[in-house]
Amino acid sequence: MSEHIVQPRIYIVIFLALMLGTGLTVVAAFHDFPGPLNAVVALTIAVIKATLVVLYFMHVRYSSRLIWLVIGSALFWLAIMFALTISDYWTRTWLPPL
C-alpha cells in the first residue's frame, strides 16, 4: 500500500486558513450577534479549523475508512454524553414545582 505524501504547499494553504480563522474568530467575538449566535459563530469557526487540522495535518483525508470510523465513533460517543446529560438539565424546569 503506497503512502500518500502531502505536498508542503497544501500545508501552507491550510496553515494560512487556520491563521485566518483565528483572526476571524477574534474579530467576530467583539461583534454582538443576536441571541446565542455568538457561541454558534465561534464554535462553527472552531469546528472548521479543527476539521482542517484533522483532514490535512493528520492526513485523515488520505486515510482508510477504518480511521474515519474511529474518529466518527469518538464524536458520536461525545455527542451521546452531551445530549443525554443536557436532556436532564434542559428539561428539569419543565414540570412546575409541586
Rule CB under 8 A: which residues touch another protein? 1, 3, 5-6, 8, 11-12, 14-15, 18-19, 22, 25-26, 29-33, 38-39, 42-43, 45-46, 49-50, 53-54, 56-59, 63, 66-67, 70-71, 73-75, 77-78, 80-82, 84-92, 94-95
DSSP 16-59: HHHHHHHHHHHHHHHS--STTHHHHHHHHHHHHHHHHIIIIIT-
CA distance 15 to 19: 6
Find the shortest distance in angstroms from Cβ 94 to another protein: 6
Residue 33 C-beta: closest distance to another protein, Å: 7
